[in-house]
Each structure stands twice: as structure tokens, then as C-alpha cells.
Amino acid sequence: MSALDDLFGTLRARGRKALMPFVTAGDPDLDFTAAVLRELVRRGSSLCEVGIPYSDPIADGPVVQASYCRALDRGFRLAQGLQMIADVAPGLGAPLVTMVSYATVHRWGVHRYVTEAKAAGVAGAIVPDLPVDEAGALAAICRQADLSLIQLVTPTTPRARALRIAELATGFLYYVTVTGTTGERDALPPALVDDVAWLRARSHLPVCVGFGISQPAHARALAPVADGLIVGSAIVRRIARAVDGPRDAVLREVGDFAVSLLEAMAS
């Protein structure tokens, strides 16, 4: 069983749901990224998603795109990001997954990326620009390395295709709440709860929900039907204050926000 299988099996046995914060590697620098990961896990997050900066992301809104630009402007390189993960993962006590463009994986070399990510302590990869029809080769390489390949399902995915995606995915399914890009939203679609419940009832994999989740009310509404919640822009926006603000205060704010979501998920 993979690290993600172990985690979700343990959470399910305890009747708990996973909070998975997203952070951008290298924003504002890799030392602070490591500090944020430690703080988020210390405050109760079950796993974390690490975004690998890329100049042309297809699914990320302005907040995450800006964080990628800040990291790239400071000279971020994939090898440095994997080294940061290798340094922090052994003492973290929670799995890490990467959000990485297939362009990055392809340029690095698919076998090399999977091998080195796994060696660094990465438990899974989310590759948003790789459709299920073209993911077979990467899925096979990931399976051999016991690295989960997490697949995305969106509100516009036909249900027959969603079931195909669920068959290929490992680790968990990432259910995208809205059409469009990442970003904080005041309200989530009214059909979301039913759509997530439908998918969860038909897949053996955990279903984690992301895009737009930015407040405790969202967490409270979705926790009953999802196995985990993914929160990105609301956290990245807070982390951005560390560019020219007091870092200790930013860490506390990010940790307090995570706790508010966890409390809502448990209520």
C-alpha cells in the first residue's frame, strides 16, 4: 500500500477527514516553504500539496500564478524543490504530493522525475495538464515506483469518463469544485455536494475536493461527503505577506486559518 493508502485508511478508521493545504515551493523562498509545511502539519493537516512553479499553468488563478512568478523570479529550480522536500519529509509525519505540469515532468524526463520525486519523499503527483487518455505510460511508471498518480475530475466531466479516470487514478481522486481556475470564492455550486457524493459512492478511492474552498463554511458543508479538502489560494495569499512582512506572524496566521478549517470539518 502507498503512503496515501495508509493515510486515508487510518483517517477512515478514525472517522476523520483530511485537510490538504497547498503551498508553492519557493514562495517567498524554500526555507519558508519548509517552515510553512511544518507548521501546517503541526496544526493538524493530514497531508500537503506542494506546487512546482511553472511559467504557464493551466488550472491556477491569479493568486497561485503570482506565487509561481515570485518563486521563478528568485531562481527556483526543480532540483532545489525536490531537495527541500527531501530535507523536510522525513520529520514531517505527513505525506507530500506535488502539483506539477507535465511539461516539467517531460522535460526533466518521466522516469527521472518519478524516481527522484519518490527518493525525495514525494507520495504522489497531480499532473493537471495530462488527460486520462494520455496518462497510461506515466501511470505505469508511477505504479512501479509506488508513487500515486492523482487524477482530476471536474463538474463538466461526463460521468462515464469520470469512472474511467477513477479506474486509472491511485492515491485519491481530486474533484474540482468549479469550472475555471483556482481561487477563493464566496459560494460553491449548489450541485457540488450531490456530485461529490455520486463519485464517492462509485469509486474505491478517497475523493478530495479542491478549487475555491476558502472559508470554514465551505469546509463544514463539504466534509460530510468528501474524504478530504484541498485549500490553496486562501493559504497562498496569506503566505505572500511573508515577502515583506514578519514571517513569524505569517506562520501563525496560516496555522490559525488551518485550525479554523479543521474545526469546521469536525463540527
pLDDT in tens, 118-174: 999 999 999 999 999 999 999 999 999 999 999 999 988 999 999 999 999 999 999
Q: What's the mean pLDDT when you consider all of the chain?
A: 92
pTM of structure:
0.94
CA 149 and chain centroid, separation? 12
> Which cell numbers in the block locate residue 8?
486515508
Q: Would you say residue 181 has pLDDT above 50?
A: no
Beta bridge partners of 122: 96
**Is there a catalytic annotation at residue 39?**
no
CATH assignment, 3-266:
3.20.20.70
Domain boundaries, the chain: 3-266
* Sequence-distant (≥ 6) Cβ neighbours of residue 26 within 8 angstroms: 33, 53, 70, 71, 72, 74, 76, 80, 81, 84
Per-residue pLDDT, 189: 64
DSSP H helical ranges for 43-77: 62-73
Catalytic residue (choose from 27, 49, 116, 227): 49
Catalytic residue (choose from 60, 184, 195, 227): 60
| 147/170 Cα distance (integer angstroms) | 8
**Is there a catalytic annotation at residue 184?**
no
Q: Would you say residue 187 has pLDDT above 80?
A: no
Closest to 97 measured CA to CA, from 50, 163, 34: 50
